[in-house]
Structure 1
Amino acid sequence: MNKNLLITGGAGFIGANFIEYMLKNSSYSITNIDALTYAGHVDNMKHFDQNPNYRFINCDISNPNSLIDAFDQKYGAIINFAAESHVDRSIENANPFVNTNIKGTLNLLYAVLNGKANKMIQVSTDEVYGSLNTDELPFTEHSPLLPNNSYSASKASADLLVRSFYKTHQLPLIITRCSNNYGPKQHREKFIPKAVTNALNDIKIPLYGDGLHVRDWLYVDDHCRALHKVLEHGEAGEVYNIGGGHERTNKEVITIILDYLGKDQRLIEYVEDRKGHDRRYAINWGKIHKELGWKPQVTFREGLFQTIEWYKIKYSQQSR
């Protein structure tokens, strides 16, 4: 079995956590490629360099010429984390999302088609399903793709490309769709890191609309374990939903953070709602549990408090 993995976007939040998990819990050798845009950071990778099973190549998956150096060997699998993922940025300018999320995925699919890797896992998002009403059942793998913003539309487009290459060429391709991840190393623009870092600095925390938008929260380590299962036991052509089973309103999440830090609830500042703001996400993860034996292990409060402590340490180091 080819134990070489190509991880794209490994300087980003989920990719970096997955590399750390795999280096600790497997014998795979990892090549990490990342364009090091605002979403990726060298600090997320600095402790990997001493590991003999790891190497980094700075390249952009949306540029085929940039990928040449990365494909100096055949890989057992490509796991595609590389993505523009900030919804607000996608509303301002969708072009980078089309380039990375769609064109980049297409370049990787051609690499698999040309025999550069034995298989590929496309790491996608529950946002491709659109929005749920309060009384609707969670998304399943058979839910229609109904994206409501440029980010989720670009991810849905990439998913459809993956499906088409599987159907047309019978390539060994798998799609995973996760709910909202949280944990260490996440970009400070994201919801939970922004709430934590703002609270630590006694800065107002913006809360869109009425604050009752609901997200299903998945601790990043649980996501990493799920992807490991999919890598080793997932079936080609399948879609696996990976959910945390922890639905919380945005207001509820901020309230828990402020209570934990002993901060005043008056730090919450209601702001005008975002365009195309999906009301609720929720994932049915029954399929991956039934077929691959995975289930989330970290409770929301446990994961959130670990995350807060990580940012407290990071903030204290930066302020020295």
Structure 2
Amino acid sequence: MIVVTGAAGLIGSALIAGLNLQGRTDILAVDRIDHPRKQRNLAPLRFAARLDIDEFRRRLNSGGLDDAGIRAILHMGACSDTSEQDWDYLADNNVACSQEIIRWSIDHGARCIYASSAATYGDGSLGFDDSADLFDRLRPLNPYGRSKLVVDIWARDHGLLDRVAGLRYFNVFGPNEWHKGGMRSVINKKYPEMIQTGRLTLFRSHHPDYADGAQERDFIYVKDAVAATLWLLEHPEANGVFNIGTGKARTWNDVAHAMFAAAGLPARIDYIDMPENLRAQYQYHTCARMQRLRSAGYQAEPTSLEAAIADYIGNYLAPDRHLLEQ
């Protein structure tokens, strides 16, 4: 059996869809269903059973899953809200939960892949190198990023990184993210605005080195993030922390132009001031260093930004379709 936590979320549900496409249904889906879109994410997927995360942790820690035949845990579940300020909540939900799952997996011989985050890199001034000896230099901009870095450092310092894989996902976007509210991608949030008004708003730059809309991100389509994750599932010899991105930085203007092109509309972009509360923690540039994953053997080329956005809009946003929905 394969356990997927965060099973109703963006990456978790996409992983189950990917496993289903491989013919796998021996899956335990672990998540809290607290949004109708999360229910829709799960509805077309095939899995053996579902547990709430609290019940899963109780059974895991009490020995109730010791004989369940679990061969792998894909731990994607976490609070991913970068505005969350309750450290006690994050310390339990993101840190302690991950530590419990990693320890259990190692003790029971199960493959463990857990979600870290590119938020660990802070403002990017120290680069985006996923080497373990650089972890202590990183300064995340928010408690969410800190919670992910704490797990990476803990796994390294306890000598566990040679037996698990931690994945620093960069800007993942794609179908099944409707439930994420303010944490949805700009593509998801701005699509209705673009269709209704023929225009699209982006934040102005408040950095002298970047023009309006020229702020850069490493955008990775969720299908590509899933492909890399499932490759690591089948290659237990590949361990440590890995960046999951494209290795290419693209601008918000690139995103907007790709959206207009996918919708068959002329590009009309307006720029608005960034809220004051976001400016101090805003990343102007992210770009994954992909050498470690490539050296481990993963060679698949990511979907181009333009092709990914065209697929997302044409096959999911425009028809309001979730992954594997007919």
- Normalising to structure 2: TM-score of the pair? 0.80
1:176 is paired with a residue whose SS is strand
CA offsets, 1:274-315, max 9 Å, x none? 131122111121222232233333111000111122111118
1:218 is paired with a residue whose SS is strand
**2:147 is equivalent to residue 154 of structure 1:** yes
> Hey, what does 1:124 align to over in structure 2?
116
Per-residue Cα deviation, 1:100-126 (whole angstroms, up to 9, x for no partner): 2112212213433553x5231112122
- For residues 67 and 39 of structure 1, the distance between their equivalents in structure 2, rounded to whole angstroms, comes to 30
Residues 1:222 and 2:219 aligned together: no
For residues 116 and 106 of structure 2, what CA distance do their matches in structure 1 show?
20
**Whole-angstrom CA distance in 2 between matches of 1:83 and 1:40:** 17
1:292 correspondence with 2:297: yes
Determine helix, strand or coil for the equivalent of 1:240.
strand
CA RMSD of aligned residues (A): 3.1
Which residues in structure 2 correspond to 1:71-110 (within 5 Å)? 73-87=68-82, 89-91=83-85, 93-110=86-103
State the Cα deviation string for residues 250-273 of structure 1 (Å, max 9, x = none): 243234324543266255533335
Equivalent residues of 1:64, 1:107 under 8 A apart: no
Identity of aligned residues (%): 19
- Whether the aligned pair in 1 keeps the contact of 2:218 and 2:248 (CA below 8 Å) is yes
Classify the secondary structure of the residue corresponding to 1:313: coil
Task: Provide the rounded CA distance (Å) in 2 between the counterparts of 1:128 and 1:119.
Answer: 23
Q: Which runs of 5+ in 1 are unaligned?
A: 316-320
The normalised TM-score by structure 1 is 0.81
- Using the TM superposition, give the Cα deviation of residue 171 of structure 1 relative to its aligned residue in structure 2, in angstroms: 7.8
Q: Per-residue deviation at 1:14? A: 0.7
Which one of 165, 178, 189 corresponds to residue 174 of structure 1? 165
User: In the alignment, which residue of structure 2 is the partner of 1:13?
Assistant: 10
- Which structure 2 segments of 5+ residues have no match? 206-212, 322-326
d(CA) in 2 for partners of 1:184, 1:176? 20
**Residues 244-255 of structure 1 aligned to structure 2 (within 5 Å):** 244-255=246-257
Which of the numbers 48, 55, 69 marks the counterpart of 1:54?
48
How far apart, CA to CA, are the structure 2 residues paired with 1:197 and 1:67? 44
Q: Aligned to 1:90, what secondary structure does the other structure show?
A: coil
Distance 1:54 1:122, change over 3 A: same
**1:237 Cα deviation (Å)?**
4.7
Give the structure 2 partner of residue 270 of structure 1.
Answer: 273
Separation in structure 1 between the aligned mates of residue 118 and residue 92 of structure 2, nearest angstrom: 20
Q: Deviations over 1:39-87 (max 9, x none)?
A: 9711101012xx3x53222233895368766666131111110011122
How many matched pairs?
Answer: 302
Q: 1:197 to 1:24 in 2, by over 3 A?
A: same
The code of the aligned residue for 2:51 comes to I
Q: Which residue matches 2:210? A: none
Name the CA shift for 1:137/1:156 in 2 (closer, same or farther; >3 Å): closer
**Counterpart secondary structure, 2:218:** strand
Question: Residues 226-256 of structure 1: CA distance to partner in whole angstroms, max 9, x if unpaired?
Answer: 1111111143652222221331122432343
Instruction: Give the Cα–Cα distance (whole angstroms) in 1 for the partners of residues 304 and 190 of structure 2.
Output: 19
Letter in 2 for 1:247: A
| Deviations, residues 8-44 of structure 1 (Å, cap 9, x unaligned) | 0010001101110011125462111002245971110
1:318 paired residue number: none
